[in-house]
Amino acid sequence: MALLLRDRDATSEVAAGPPGDGASVSAPDFACETCGAAMLAGQDWCLECGTAVPGRLGARPGWRAAFTVVALTLLLVVGAVVASYAALTTDAERRAAAPSSGDGSPIAAPGPGAVQPAAPVAPITPGATGPGVTPPAGTTGPAGAVTPPPIIPVQPPAGTAPGGAVTPPAVTPPPAVTPPPAAVTPPPAANTPPPPAAGPSAEVVKFDKDSASTYDPAKRAGAEFGPARYAVDKSMKSEWDVVVPADGKPIGAGLLLDLGKPYALRALEIATPTKNFSVELYGAVSAKETPEDILDKRWEHLTDIKKVTDGKRVSLLNKSTKKQRLLLLYITLPGEPTDPRVAIENVKVAGTP
């Protein structure tokens, strides 16, 4: 502080000197930001208030303190980690080096089985005799005589007679074969009904020229039909056909067959030059009056054929529990929509009367 006061007094004297004494007066380069005192270039501190010049390290004392705090914190953390590791390592080594607790007696390792010590064996004097001592075969007895070893007779194998002759084994005759007892049919029980007689077998229905007719309940305009008798005349050169306008609507007509008498239907076979047309099969138990509408309850729907081909055989077995007198082939869709024509050359129907 004395130095700063001395510098201040010297500066004041220089500044207070008379202007005409010829001494040079230096003008200040800048003023202190804190107190406004004049400062020269190269001056690092304000002589009035002690404030550092902007740009000096001393003007930012906060950074130095922050760096110091961070460094001390890291040093403490590293020291704590090292001390913890050393403590853990020392404890582990101390436990490993500690002697095991025990009474000092040796530890016997168990073996796979307890071994009993062998009983003491009395020494045997060569040539000694007495109870419990059997001289070996071929040795000299008490009197010096040599006892020959015992002779074991050899038994001949089975089937060998004395003298080397081989005796053939006895032949056992095969057991007699007893024929199985004949099957005995039990007599029929009393009051047992006789077996039912065989029913009539299936037969092919015989048609005449009046057995077939055209069924056209819709009466479509422009629909054309061929003679229905051509479908049952057994000739492949004639055919019944139906042609309707190509308007995309169902054909809605068909071929009606009178079977002549009621049949339990079994099968149906269709011969046709056209293919892939759709047919719905219906039956009626009476031929006195033909139902005029396909939705009439007197028609019984039997089955559908999605795509009919030449020689198509369709099973009608168990399709109905009734015997049918009329059979209707109701054609719904043609095979080719652009050519709505369906032809049937021949129809065969099999059934049981």
**pLDDT tens by residue, 251-260:** 999 999 999 9
Determine, yes or no, domain membership for 333.
yes
Q: How high is the mean pLDDT of the chain?
A: 77
- Lowest-confidence pick of 16-20, 29-33, 156-160, 225-229: 16-20
Residue 171: pLDDT band (50, 70, 90) is: low
**pLDDT over 70 (residue 145):** no
Query: Which residues, at least 6 apart from 205, have a Cβ–Cβ distance to it below 8 Å?
Result: 259, 260, 263, 348, 349, 350, 351
pLDDT, position 10:
46
**pLDDT over 50 (residue 190):** yes
The residue that leads in pLDDT, 19 or 211, is 211
pLDDT, position 76:
94
Determine, yes or no, domain membership for 347.
yes
The two structure tokens encoding residue 210: 């009046």
From first CA to last CA, the distance across the chain in angstroms is 147
> How do strand 346-352 and strand 203-204 relate by DSSP bridges?
antiparallel
- Lowest-confidence pick of 26-30, 104-108, 310-314: 104-108
User: What does residue 329 show for φ and ψ, rounded to 5 degrees?
Assistant: -100, 95
Residue 228: pLDDT band (50, 70, 90) is: very high
Determine, yes or no, domain membership for 288.
yes
Say what the pTM is: 0.46
pLDDT, position 124:
53
Average of pLDDT values for 322-339?
A: 94
- Lowest-confidence pick of 148-152, 177-181, 224-228, 263-267: 148-152
The residue that leads in pLDDT, 182 or 32, is 32
Determine, yes or no, domain membership for 45.
no
**pLDDT over 60 (residue 138):** no
Number of domains in the chain: 1
pLDDT, position 39:
83
Write the secondary structure of the chain as one string of H (helix), E (strand) and C (coil). CHHHHHHHHHHHHHHHCCCCCCCCCCCCCEECCCCCCEECCCCCECCCCCCECCCCHHHCHHHHHHHHHHHHHHHHHHHHHHHHHHHHHHHHHHHHHCCCCCCCCCCCCCCCCCCCCCCCCCCCCCCCCCCCCCCCCCCECCCCCECCCCCCCCCCCCCECCCCCECCCCCCCCCCCCCCCCCCCCCCCCCCCCCCCCCCCCEECCCCCCCEEEECCCCCCCCEECCHHHHCCCCCCCCEEEECCCCCCCCCEEEEEEEEEEEEEEEEEEECCCCCEEEEEEEECCCCCCCCCCCCCCCEEEEEEEEECCCEEEECCCCCCCCEEEEEEEECCCCCCCCCEEEECEEEEEEEC
Residue 315: domain span: 203-352
Determine, yes or no, domain membership for 85.
no
Half-sphere exposure at residue 306, Cβ-oriented, CA atoms within 13 angstroms: 0
The rounded distance, in Å, linking the Cα atoms of 307 and 277 is 5
Residue 90: pLDDT band (50, 70, 90) is: confident
CATH number of the domain encompassing residue 304: 2.60.120.260
The residue that leads in pLDDT, 29 or 316, is 316
pLDDT tens digits for 1-10? Answer: 444 445 555 4
Determine, yes or no, domain membership for 147.
no
The residue type at 342: V
Alpha carbon of 99 to those of 87, 90, 95, 107: distances in Å?
A: 20, 16, 9, 15
Determine, yes or no, domain membership for 259.
yes
Determine, yes or no, domain membership for 15.
no
**pLDDT over 60 (residue 60):** no
pLDDT, position 95:
72
Of the chain, the percentage scoring pLDDT greater than 70 comes to: 60
